Structure 1
Amino acid sequence: MSMKTKPLAQGGGTLKRNLGLWAIVGLGLGYMTPTVVFDTFGMVGRDTANVVPAAYLVALVVMVFTAISYGKIASAIPSAGSAYTYVRESIHPNLGFMVGWTSLIDYVLLPMVNCLIIRSYLEALFPDIPGWIWVVLYCVLVTAIIYLTMRGTSNANMVLLVFSIIVMAVFVVMVIAQLAQGHGAGTVASIAPFLHDGVTMGAVLMGATIVCFSFIGFDAVTMYAEEAKGPKIMPRAILLTVILGGAIFLVAAYFTQLRFPDWNEFAPGGDMQYVEDSTLPIIGHLVGGDVLRAVLTAAGFCATLASGLASHASVSRMLLVMGRNNVLPRRVFGYINPRTHTPTFNIVLVGAICLLAIPFSLELIAAWINFGALIAFTFVNVSVIAWFAVRKGLRRTPRDVFRYIVMPAIGMLLTGLLWANLHQDALIGGTVWAVLGVIYLLVLTRGFRRKVASFDENETVTGFNKLPVPSPQQPLDDDLDDELDPTGAR
């Protein structure tokens, strides 16, 4: 989620190093939204033949290798906070641009996922109200909040995170009690959630490509590299975020799978709409009736709304920096409203994109997001090899070969494997977007005759419109730096 970071001066400066290990881990876990495991449970159960925990285990293994690579490259390039920055610095600016352009898909569409999940919650609670009304209301509310202010919410993030985890723990305890009474699989110890007759590796990989978007957020902690109390914190924070997040997903998925051995329990009458949207309200109702459904939905709602605010604000800021650097038209995307001190055009644009959640399903948008995210993850592994083994020459000892070639190569192959198993529509749409990026890169570089402008969402954006420097009698608006730095994006 976002947090308060204050430059030392209006025109830009250094960020204050005041974040400890657990503060950063909490921000990463909050962005991952732990309750999302219930949202996608139905569709993943369908695609994996009821081995959702196996899909999470595969995704976790892939993410651990990638997290190790993130930790290594974040230590080497501590001022950077994204895959395209790492690729730009370690390989080539043009390739860095393409990685950034491709991963822009998941930046832009992530707010829409939050909108889709919120819509499904409210449709479950108020089935007589058309879903498009909730989409419009959500988009207007979130856009209006960020339009007026983008103050950091790290403390609120921690409260929402703790609340969500407590509710999930209560849910697990209730499920264990029901299993002991003979419900579901009738046991708390079984390998069936990971392996049983009829399960194929291809199906598990398909499920892993869906759930890997649940891990999006562990790389968001790289955004705090310049605010960590010490340089050794970042690699540990990245790895801890992945491991703890993965453990939460695995435990919740394991016991939920035992309680619901067949995904068809979520699709009465064969209605696929029940599994293509969030199954969280259904799971809550079947386990604890209306009370647990309301509590679990409230936990999911709060966590998703907070993540939605952060992702919406973050992509708006990223577009602002791209506009500032003329990667996108400066007059439009680089504009900061002098009254609200926010990039109002970008905020409204992202809100308008979120309106597209009306006709789309959660499954398809998640697949498109994973296209960009897995491209970014793959190239982070590549950048480790390029930076350490090639540029720094750390390839002469077996230890260096293992750390800087073998480990990232495994991560690269694993993320590439998941990418190849993405939904066909996501591969087609993502490829079209990548081709557009190549064409745009040709224009920006005048046929590759000059370097492409860099865009880093960590870069200071205050003062772009030459706002007046306040007098001692009129102190600078405390919201300004927060509004232009809603860190918490990937």
Structure 2
Amino acid sequence: MENGSTLRRSLKLWQIVMIGLAYMTPMVVFDTFGIVSSVTDGHVPTSYVIALVGMLLTAASYGKLVRIFPTAGSAYTYTQKAISRRLGFLIGWASLLDYLFLPMVNALLTQIYLTALFPEVPSWLWVVLFVALVSFLNLRSVNLLANFNAIFVLIQIVMVVVFIILVVRGLQTGEGTGTVFSLQPFISENMNMGHIITGATILCFSFLGFDAVTTLAEETPNPKKTIPKAILYTALWGGVIFITASFFIQLFFPDVSRFHNPDAALPEIALYVGGKLFQTIFLCTTFVNTLASGMASHASVSRLLYVMGRDQVFPEKWFGYIHPKWKTPSVNVLIVGAISLSAIFFDLVTATSLINFGALMAFTSVNLCVISHFVIREKKHRTVKGFFNYLVMPILGALSVGILWFNIERSSLIMGIIWFSIGFVYLLYLTKAFSKAPPQFKEEDVVSELPDMQITS
């Protein structure tokens, strides 16, 4: 390291899980409910179950790889090590779309929410204040960030619990299905599995972020043990929250006939369930969602840029810099903050389109990396257990991601291909038209920081 500093290994398992859940934003279930309920004919929880199974397969692939490569580069590093350095660079470049634009999306959402509440305030001011706050918290300490995220996630969970209590009271007075004891949201005579799977493909994007905890691998004392658990718990507990909340929403709203605008049903859901006061409190909590997700996504992309800077893919002097006191990639935090300010000029559709492409590239690559490393190189598929763990599961994971690729929006695909092409041109420059390999940091320099008991595969 040019400045002699490294990231501080201080995060505990619960802190990492909270950062992952903050990235996913548990209350996103309310944003998508109207759309998916319409698509699935009132079976949103079933679609969430299918989406969760698909995402857990990919989460398992991340867990297998982080035990072998316990660094902060996530899919970028795994692809470098398991397949090839050139492809690793391209996956890292594509992943930047997911990581870089989510902080911008959260800034945009904050602008939309607060402009609606305070129309007299210039909308650009909310973006500046949001980015400044998120950047400040990311600069100081990853533990401070984790603790704030824990508070914000708990606020969301409390709000969901209060919502469920109000739903139960409403059901007891004859609202919706009129009973809590009903499996109708999960299964009914008129359910169509094709529609359910279509709904699941939409809901899979609610899970984006469980993989982001891998970028914190160099900030926990025992990454080979802690990070795989954190990935699994983030995806699993996020799924449990989504399924539980959507079950009670579906009981109260068996169909979308009560919604004036099913595509943006959150305000109406809160109003019908709890009245005007609850709706106001509920909408204020959506700001907490964006703040929590903004902090978590800002932290993740800062770490990915740090690894790419350490590899000298980007100028190491800036991107590979660690603040000697705070032990955070402070220059990257400021760079991400500056990029997030462009939310003043962007629109939500464009930013969201770029996120989806980057995430799917990372998910696809990670499943293939498991096969490449454990099957092709290590030959660990020759036992029944190895065949299932290292071949069957990642293939199923890749197939579940393939369904998402099939349903990706045209704008996401076009803009993603343009971004990928720019990365390919930059790779040609870095490698002098493939005459040499891309630069790469020595993994043992990171692994050597861990106790011997932690670096055994």
Q: Same fold (TM over 0.5)?
A: yes
CA, structure 1 residues 159+333, in 2 after alignment: closer, same or farther (shift >3 Å)? closer
CA, structure 1 residues 320+438, in 2 after alignment: closer, same or farther (shift >3 Å)? same
In structure 2, the gaps of 5 or more residues are 447-457
Separation (CA, whole Å) in 2 of partners of 1:368 and 1:453: 26
List per-residue Cα deviations over 1:9-58 (Å, max 9, x = no partner). 96124643x44433332232222211111122233334444432233222
Residue number in structure 2 paired with 1:467? none
Separation (CA, whole Å) in 2 of partners of 1:438 and 1:424: 21
Say which of 42, 47, 51 aligns to 1:55. 47
- Cα pair 2:172 2:178 within 8 Å, conserved: yes
Residue number in structure 2 paired with 1:86? 78
Say which of 215, 218, 222 aligns to 1:223. 215
Say which of 370, 380, 383 aligns to 1:397. 383
- Cα pair 1:117 1:304 within 8 Å, conserved: yes
Residue number in structure 1 paired with 2:430? 444
- Cα pair 2:185 2:250 within 8 Å, conserved: yes
List per-residue Cα deviations over 1:207-247 (Å, max 9, x = no partner). 33332232222222223334144733332222122111100
Say which of 176, 185, 203 aligns to 2:177. 185
* Amino acid across the alignment from 2:250: Q
- Cα pair 1:113 1:366 within 8 Å, conserved: yes
* Amino acid across the alignment from 2:348: F
Separation (CA, whole Å) in 2 of partners of 1:355 and 1:297: 22
* Amino acid across the alignment from 2:63: G
List per-residue Cα deviations over 1:264-314 (Å, max 9, x = no partner). 53335xxxxx72x5x433322221112211222233221321221332354
CA offset at residue 195 of structure 1?
4.7
CA offset at residue 200 of structure 1?
4.6
- Cα pair 1:209 1:421 within 8 Å, conserved: yes
CA offset at residue 321 of structure 1?
5.2
| 2:134 pairs with 1:141 | no
Say which of 420, 430, 434 aligns to 2:416. 430
CA, structure 1 residues 345+15, in 2 after alignment: closer, same or farther (shift >3 Å)? closer
Deviates more, 1:116-125 or 1:213-222: 116-125
Residue number in structure 1 paired with 2:167? 175
Separation (CA, whole Å) in 1 of partners of 2:230 and 2:306: 28
CA, structure 1 residues 406+189, in 2 after alignment: closer, same or farther (shift >3 Å)? same
CA, structure 1 residues 208+422, in 2 after alignment: closer, same or farther (shift >3 Å)? farther
| 2:339 pairs with 1:350 | yes
CA, structure 1 residues 399+439, in 2 after alignment: closer, same or farther (shift >3 Å)? same
Deviates more, 1:446-455 or 1:98-107: 446-455
Between Structure 1 and Structure 2, the one with more helix by share is 2
Q: Aligned pairs, how many? A: 437
* Amino acid across the alignment from 1:293: Q
CA, structure 1 residues 347+64, in 2 after alignment: closer, same or farther (shift >3 Å)? closer
Say which of 150, 153, 157 aligns to 2:149. 157
CA offset at residue 399 of structure 1?
1.6
Say which of 71, 85, 95 aligns to 1:103. 95
Separation (CA, whole Å) in 2 of partners of 1:380 and 1:179: 44
- Cα pair 2:54 2:400 within 8 Å, conserved: yes
Residue number in structure 2 paired with 1:67? 59
- Cα pair 1:109 1:365 within 8 Å, conserved: yes
* Amino acid across the alignment from 1:140: V
Q: Note the 1:47-446 alignment, pairs <5 A.
A: 47-122=39-114, 125=117, 133-134=122-123, 136-145=124-133, 150-151=139-140, 152=142, 153-195=145-187, 200-226=192-218, 227-229=220-222, 231-267=224-260, 275=263, 279-316=265-302, 318-319=304-305, 322=308, 325-328=311-314, 342-343=331-332, 346-357=335-346, 359-361=347-349, 365-446=351-432
Separation (CA, whole Å) in 1 of partners of 2:193 and 2:354: 22
Separation (CA, whole Å) in 2 of partners of 1:355 and 1:454: 35
* Amino acid across the alignment from 1:210: I
* Amino acid across the alignment from 1:143: V
CA, structure 1 residues 267+109, in 2 after alignment: closer, same or farther (shift >3 Å)? farther
CA, structure 1 residues 238+321, in 2 after alignment: closer, same or farther (shift >3 Å)? closer
Residue number in structure 1 paired with 2:450? none
* Amino acid across the alignment from 2:46: A
* Amino acid across the alignment from 1:87: T
- Cα pair 2:312 2:439 within 8 Å, conserved: yes
CA, structure 1 residues 81+438, in 2 after alignment: closer, same or farther (shift >3 Å)? closer
CA, structure 1 residues 370+174, in 2 after alignment: closer, same or farther (shift >3 Å)? same
CA, structure 1 residues 429+207, in 2 after alignment: closer, same or farther (shift >3 Å)? farther
Identity score, percent: 44
- Cα pair 1:212 1:370 within 8 Å, conserved: no
Separation (CA, whole Å) in 1 of partners of 2:28 and 2:146: 20
* Amino acid across the alignment from 1:114: N
* Amino acid across the alignment from 1:384: V
In structure 1, the gaps of 5 or more residues are 1-6, 269-273, 461-490
- Cα pair 2:215 2:304 within 8 Å, conserved: no
Separation (CA, whole Å) in 1 of partners of 2:334 and 2:214: 27
Separation (CA, whole Å) in 1 of partners of 2:333 and 2:56: 37
Separation (CA, whole Å) in 1 of partners of 2:70 and 2:323: 31
- Cα pair 2:22 2:296 within 8 Å, conserved: no
Deviates more, 1:64-73 or 1:320-329: 320-329
CA, structure 1 residues 129+283, in 2 after alignment: closer, same or farther (shift >3 Å)? farther
Deviates more, 1:60-69 or 1:293-302: 293-302
CA, structure 1 residues 418+294, in 2 after alignment: closer, same or farther (shift >3 Å)? same
CA offset at residue 329 of structure 1?
6.1
SS at structure 2 position matched to 1:266: coil
Residue number in structure 2 paired with 1:465? none
Separation (CA, whole Å) in 2 of partners of 1:386 and 1:25: 28
SS at structure 1 position matched to 2:224: coil
CA, structure 1 residues 315+384, in 2 after alignment: closer, same or farther (shift >3 Å)? same
- Cα pair 2:104 2:341 within 8 Å, conserved: no
CA offset at residue 386 of structure 1?
1.1
Question: What RMSD in Å do the two structures reach over aligned CA positions?
Answer: 3.4
CA, structure 1 residues 348+119, in 2 after alignment: closer, same or farther (shift >3 Å)? closer
Separation (CA, whole Å) in 2 of partners of 1:220 and 1:332: 22
